[in-house]
């Protein structure tokens, strides 16, 4: 390889690609991670850029080969070109981040002012013994880089508030709620409406959880919580009182990540003007329309 090849990255990708037999029986051209990383280093670009250029010429990153029957080449490119902000990297946010990274969202903006502590080990997907005391946003970025080099990550160890919300979320296509208090959720919803992007809300309490997707112009959170609290309530949230077993955030986060994918790919039905509620303990699943 030499620098002259970077003038035509498509030719370089094609040269480094190989033909493999898809599990479904057809032959497709793929680019393995090692080659994608080498091309990115050579051309002084991101692996995400290499992935996108490959997908444009119908060459699939090899890691996505098992998705091909469900997600087309063109749809995979749409995911790779998308930016999603996840605010809060705890029980919900951690699972959402891992799922979106694995499926190939091109750019993740991760916002959290907290650090991991031992009480997070029971449910937070990004928390390990080695991460205790470390910033959640930066640990999330490190894990995503090891999981999928084709995902760009912008971590912010910051408390989101009125002064910085628009700046932090600017450039996002979708915002995902991984928070634990009503006041900040209303702030996210308000900011998403200003930026004219969807907001995917999720909440947990014990073995129960709920989800709603809010588009600009929707009444959204007011259906669930009434008015926006004038100030942040610093009393313990309900989830802290009732606890959160690891099962609940994993399911609600999966639903949130699925809403993100459906919004980007413009497929299926979303929980718009509706709240989907689960009660794992009693095996009750219900959708309430507004």
E-only strand ranges, 6-147:
18-21, 27-31, 60-61, 83-87, 107-111
Name the residue with tokens 């029957």. 69
Name the residue with tokens 């084709």. 150
What does the pLDDT read at residue 2?
Answer: 44
Report residue 71: phi and psi, to 5°: -125, 120
DSSP designation for 25: S
CA 155, 104, 90: angle at the middle one, nearest 5? 40
Read off the pLDDT of residues 252-278 as tens digits, 9 standing for 90 and up: 999 999 999 999 999 999 999 999 999
Alpha helices in 230-279 (DSSP H): 238-242, 247-265
Whether the per-residue pLDDT at 4 is higher than 50: the answer is: no
Whether the per-residue pLDDT at 3 is higher than 50: the answer is: no
Beta-strand relationship, 199-205 and 208-214: antiparallel
Residues in Cβ contact with 109 at an 8 Å cutoff, skipping those fewer than 6 apart: 83, 84, 85, 86, 154, 156, 168, 169, 171, 172
Across the chain, what does the average pLDDT equal? 93
Whether the per-residue pLDDT at 113 is higher than 50: the answer is: yes
> Distance of CA 209 to CAs 46, 143, 215, 259, 288, Å?
37, 26, 20, 15, 13
What are the sequence ranges of the domains in the chain? 3-77, 82-289
Q: Give the domain 82-289 fold.
A: Rossmann fold (3.40.50)
Here the tokens at position 97 are 């981040």
For residue 176, what pLDDT band results from cuts at 50, 70 and 90? very high
Whether the per-residue pLDDT at 41 is higher than 70: the answer is: yes
For residue 172, what pLDDT band results from cuts at 50, 70 and 90? very high
Whether the per-residue pLDDT at 236 is higher than 90: the answer is: no
What does the pLDDT read at residue 56?
Answer: 97
Which has more pLDDT, 50 or 69?
Answer: 50
Tally the C-alpha atoms within 13 A of residue 165's C-alpha that lie toward its C-beta.
17
């Amino acid at each position: 390889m030499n620098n002259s090849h970077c003038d035509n990255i498509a030719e370089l990708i094609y040269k480094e690609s190989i033909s493999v037999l898809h599990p479904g029986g057809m032959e497709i051209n793929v680019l393995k991670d090692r080659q994608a990383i080498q091309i990115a280093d050579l051309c002084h670009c991101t692996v995400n850029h290499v992935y996108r250029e490959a997908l444009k010429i119908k060459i699939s990153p090899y890691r996505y080969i098992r998705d091909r029957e469900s997600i087309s080449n063109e749809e995979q490119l749409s995911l790779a070109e998308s930016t999603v902000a996840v605010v809060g990297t705890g029980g919900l946010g951690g699972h959402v981040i891992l799922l979106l990274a694995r499926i190939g969202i091109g750019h993740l903006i991760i916002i959290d002012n907290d650090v991991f502590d031992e009480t997070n080990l029971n449910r937070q997907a990004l928390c390990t013994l080695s991460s205790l005391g470390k910033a959640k946003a930066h640990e999330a970025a490190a894990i995503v880089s090891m999981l999928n080099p084709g995902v760009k990550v912008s971590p912010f160890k910051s408390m989101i508030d009125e002064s910085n919300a628009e700046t932090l979320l600017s450039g996002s296509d979708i915002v995902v709620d991984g928070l634990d208090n009503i006041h900040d959720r209303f702030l996210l919803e308000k900011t998403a409406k200003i930026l004219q992007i969807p907001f995917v809300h999720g909440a947990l309490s014990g073995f129960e959880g709920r989800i709603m997707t809010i588009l600009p112009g929707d009444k959204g959170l007011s259906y669930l919580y009434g008015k926006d609290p004038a100030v942040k309530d610093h009393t313990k949230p309900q989830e802290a009182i009732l606890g959160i077993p690891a099962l609940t955030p994993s399911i609600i986060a999966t639903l949130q990540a699925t809403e993100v994918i459906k919004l980007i790919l413009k497929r299926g039905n979303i929980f718009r003007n509706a709240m989907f509620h689960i009660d794992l303990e009693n095996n009750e699943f219900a959708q309430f329309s507004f």
